[in-house]
């Protein structure tokens, strides 16, 4: 009698487990979204030197991506919040901690400023959250400090440092001077550009570093002018770049035959300078709004919500990265970060921003980039007609080769 009851108990337990397994497997999507929603936080520069290239435009791009996805994923709503890190590491990390600990944010997006980005990547890794970087340039995000849940989307200092420098050295620019911003972004870009110059047998006549948001660049431009360098590489962006280029023209640097090279320049920078000041500068861009019908369609919608402004590559990249994240949540059946990160690496990136894009194991999204030249005023035919796409550079040819990556996630 005891044996019969025992066997019956085993059968009932197995049956219950089977039913439980079935019930778990079927409605898993509805049960695997934490806190009843998917929450995305855009942490960016809303008021500082980089606010034109991302800022509120990045928030608008994220809103558009969420709306185009249907405002929900796995049957749960998608919520968006945003904040200004004010270009201060303590402010940025404080917001990231609060968002994760108190406001239940699942993924952080944009993260202008390399120093803030590296700090937030550590926070997101420890908290098992996704972090997607569209604005920072440092290659450490997918290098030695890479993360299983961290992704770098639009560009980096390698792609934008190596590309134009190699091209100009081939055109005969053999003597260089560097003016770089004095924080992680500028340091990284300087190191990459210097190595590229020296490996090509060219020379660096000198270098100088300037503080963020400098009102006067004369102390940095005059030594560069006096050096006689054929090419002056400016590792800055946003309002710093605009101010520097305007002052370089005032000092007659370009008129005197020296070339200003701006590896990291955006559509908003050209707009701020004006074509009269910016014409002729060559740079690498990850997206241009007027490249084809798809990009123009997105830009038209974006401009209607952003005061007629066309999107920068950073803002378009926010749309692309948020869309890809939501697709990965849908495919994973959960918003758990590691499961989503796996799907982000598995799924192709195929949208108006990047056709044939791919996310590598180090978190780098590899996509085609464009060698661009700023048009002259006479070449521009309508508002925001600023760039001539000179060449398309394949992603595998412009991003750091995977076999050179210092990321510990990469299998050697």
**pLDDT score recorded for residue 30:** 40
- Measured CA distances, 227 to 205, 244, 246 (Å): 7, 17, 19
Residue 194, pLDDT > 70, answer yes
Higher pLDDT residue, 315 or 235? 315
pLDDT digits (tens, 9 = 90+) for 221-270: 999 999 999 999 998 777 888 899 999 999 999 889 998 999 889 999 99
Residue 19, pLDDT > 70, answer no
Higher pLDDT residue, 84 or 187? 84
> How far apart are the C-alpha atoms of 154 and 395, rounded to whole Å?
11
Answer for the pair 188, 244: CB distance below 8 angstroms, yes or no.
Answer: no
**pLDDT score recorded for residue 189:** 87
pLDDT digits (tens, 9 = 90+) for 162-187: 988 988 898 899 999 999 999 877 88
**pLDDT score recorded for residue 3:** 42
**pLDDT score recorded for residue 88:** 92
Higher pLDDT residue, 412 or 10? 412
Residue 38, pLDDT > 60, answer yes
Answer for the pair 79, 40: CB distance below 8 angstroms, yes or no.
Answer: yes
pLDDT digits (tens, 9 = 90+) for 275-287: 999 998 888 999 9
Looking at the DSSP bridge assignments, the partners of residue 131 are 108, 150
Query: What is the DSSP annotation of 199-263?
Result: HTT-EEEEEEEE-TT-S--HHHHHHHHHHT-SEEEEE--HHHHHHHHHHHHHTTTTTTTPEEE-S
Residue 7, pLDDT > 70, answer no
Average pLDDT over residues 47-62: 93
Residue 108, pLDDT > 90, answer yes
User: What is the residue whose two structure tokens read 């003016």?
Assistant: 179
**pLDDT score recorded for residue 16:** 39
* SS3 state at 73: strand
The token pair that represents 201 in the structure block: 């047998």
**pLDDT score recorded for residue 25:** 35
Residue 91: pLDDT band by 50, 70, 90 thresholds? very high
Calculate the average pLDDT of the chain.
90
> How far apart are the C-alpha atoms of 404 and 412, rounded to whole Å?
10
Average pLDDT over residues 54-73: 98
Work out the percent of the chain whose per-residue pLDDT is above 70.
Answer: 92
**pLDDT score recorded for residue 61:** 98
Residue 302, pLDDT > 60, answer yes
pLDDT digits (tens, 9 = 90+) for 334-381: 999 999 999 999 999 999 999 999 999 999 999 999 989 899 999 999
Residue 382, pLDDT > 90, answer yes
Residue 407, pLDDT > 60, answer yes
Work out the percent of the chain whose per-residue pLDDT is above 90.
Answer: 74
pLDDT digits (tens, 9 = 90+) for 128-166: 999 999 999 889 999 999 999 999 999 998 999 898 898
> How far apart are the C-alpha atoms of 218 and 131, rounded to whole Å?
38
**pLDDT score recorded for residue 390:** 86
CA angle 244, 48, 365 (to 5 degrees): 90
């Amino acid at each position: 009698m005891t044996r019969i009851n025992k066997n019956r108990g085993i059968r009932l337990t197995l049956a219950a487990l089977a039913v439980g397994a079935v019930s778990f497997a079927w409605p898993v999507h509805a049960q695997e979204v934490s806190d009843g929603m998917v929450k995305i936080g855009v942490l960016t520069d809303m008021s500082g030197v980089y606010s034109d290239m991302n800022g509120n435009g990045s928030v608008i791009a994220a809103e558009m991506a969420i709306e185009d996805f249907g405002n929900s994923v796995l049957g749960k709503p998608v919520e968006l919040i945003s904040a200004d890190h004010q270009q201060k590491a303590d402010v940025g990390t404080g917001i990231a901690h609060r968002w994760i600990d108190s406001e239940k944010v699942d993924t952080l997006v944009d993260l202008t400023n390399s120093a803030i980005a590296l700090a937030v990547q550590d926070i997101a890794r420890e908290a098992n959250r996704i972090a997607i970087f569209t604005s920072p340039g440092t290659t450490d995000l997918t290098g030695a400090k890479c993360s299983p849940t961290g992704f770098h989307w639009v560009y980096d200092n390698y792609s934008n440092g190596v590309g134009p420098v190699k091209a100009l050295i081939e055109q005969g620019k053999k003597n260089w001077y560097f003016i770089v911003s004095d924080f992680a972004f500028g340091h990284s870009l300087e190191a990459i550009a210097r190595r590229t110059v020296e490996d090509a047998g060219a020379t660096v006549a000198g270098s100088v570093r300037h503080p963020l948001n400098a009102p006067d660049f004369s102390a940095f431009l005059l030594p560069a002018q006096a050096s006689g360098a054929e090419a002056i590489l400016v590792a800055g962006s946003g309002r710093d770049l605009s101010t520097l280029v305007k002052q370089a023209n005032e000092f007659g640097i370009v008129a005197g035959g020296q070339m200003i090279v701006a590896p990291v320049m955006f559509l908003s920078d050209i707009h701020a300078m004006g074509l009269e000041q910016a014409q002729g500068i060559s740079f690498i861009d990850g997206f241009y709004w007027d490249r084809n019908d798809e990009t123009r369609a997105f830009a038209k919608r974006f401009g209607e919500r952003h005061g007629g402004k066309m999107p920068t590559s950073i803002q378009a990249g926010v749309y692309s990265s948020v869309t890809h994240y939501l697709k990965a949540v849908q495919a994973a059946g959960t918003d758990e970060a590691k499961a989503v990160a796996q799907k982000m690496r598995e799924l192709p990136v195929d949208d108006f921003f990047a056709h044939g894009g791919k996310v590598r194991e180090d978190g780098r999204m590899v996509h085609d980039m464009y060698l661009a030249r700023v048009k002259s005023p006479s070449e521009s035919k309508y508002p925001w007609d600023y760039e001539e796409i000179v060449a398309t550079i394949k992603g595998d040819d412009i991003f750091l080769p995977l076999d050179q990556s210092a990321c510990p996630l990469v299998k050697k």
